[in-house]
Amino acid sequence: MNSLKNRVALVTGAAKGLGKAIALELARNGSVVIVNYLRSEKESEETLTAIRKFSKGSIKIKADVTNEKEVERMFSEAAKKFGKIDILINNVGNFIYKPIDKVSSDEFRNIIENNLFSAFYCCKKAISTMKGYGRIINIGCTGCDRVTIRKMTSPYYIAKTGLWMLTKSLAMETTKGITVNMVSPGVLESSVVKPENSEIIKFSDITNAIMFLLSEKSEKTNGANIEVSGGSVLGAD
């Protein structure tokens, strides 16, 4: 039995890259997918076209998920169309690579809003629409559950560590039938920075972990972090 058939799944930042790969995998497995995007209009249309080969009822919604009112509008549109959200993948994030003392206040705020506040807003709305069943997966990063500090990426790791704490808190506080977990990639094929000797992680490695967390086999898995790094350890350097 396909546990994802006709499930309604919202993927943030799904126009391209990892988000697109996640959205396509969900569609291949029978889910109706909501493609969230902000600026990538052309890419979002191409992604939706590809998704509709597997899931004709899928749609796209333009929304800035760092803005709570935009998130509320997005979920309102989804509710009018589908009546619920079963699956939420918080994929939106942003990255900066520079010394912490060179990071401006606006840059720091942008990283926190994109990687943490966006997930907080979406989780709040998703949980309120989930009816007896819900799966939330937050996209973290290697080491974020171990208070990892890395040179040149401090704001990013601060945000992702906060996202891990949010994941654990929601897992503890949500009602029965709803699980909240995290998948933490190592160095992705699309990563801006690729440290020497790091194993490159494919999008399919991440979608495999996500599909496990969405399967019936993971029904009792809640508040977990699956690190997909190929064994590479990213720590203080």
- Residue 37 and residue 44 in contact, taking contact as beta carbons nearer than 8 Å: yes
**What integer pLDDT is reported at residue 149 of this predicted model?**
73
Other Cβ atoms within 10 Å of 13 Cβ, number = 26
156 flagged as catalytic? yes
Residue 2 lies in a domain: no
pLDDT tens per residue, range 136-170: 999 999 889 987 777 788 899 999 999 999 999 99
What CATH number is attached to the domain comprising 103?
Answer: 3.40.50.720
Domain holding 119, by residue range, is: 8-228
Residue 108 lies in a domain: yes
Residue 49 lies in a domain: yes
Residue 237 lies in a domain: no
CA neighbor of 137 nearest in space, from 101, 185, 76: 185
**What integer pLDDT is reported at residue 19 of this predicted model?**
98
Decide which of 229 and 166 is more confident.
166
Residue 117 lies in a domain: yes
Residue 236 lies in a domain: no
In this prediction the pTM is: 0.94
d(CA 219, CA 161) in angstroms, rounded, equals 25
Of these ranges, 52-66, 134-148, 179-193, the one predicted with the greatest mean pLDDT is: 52-66
Total domains in the fold of the chain: 1
What is the pLDDT averaged over residues 184-209?
81
Residue 90 lies in a domain: yes
**CA atoms within 13 Å, Cβ hemisphere of 35:** 34
**What integer pLDDT is reported at residue 234 of this predicted model?**
55
- Catalytic choice (37, 97, 121, 156): 156
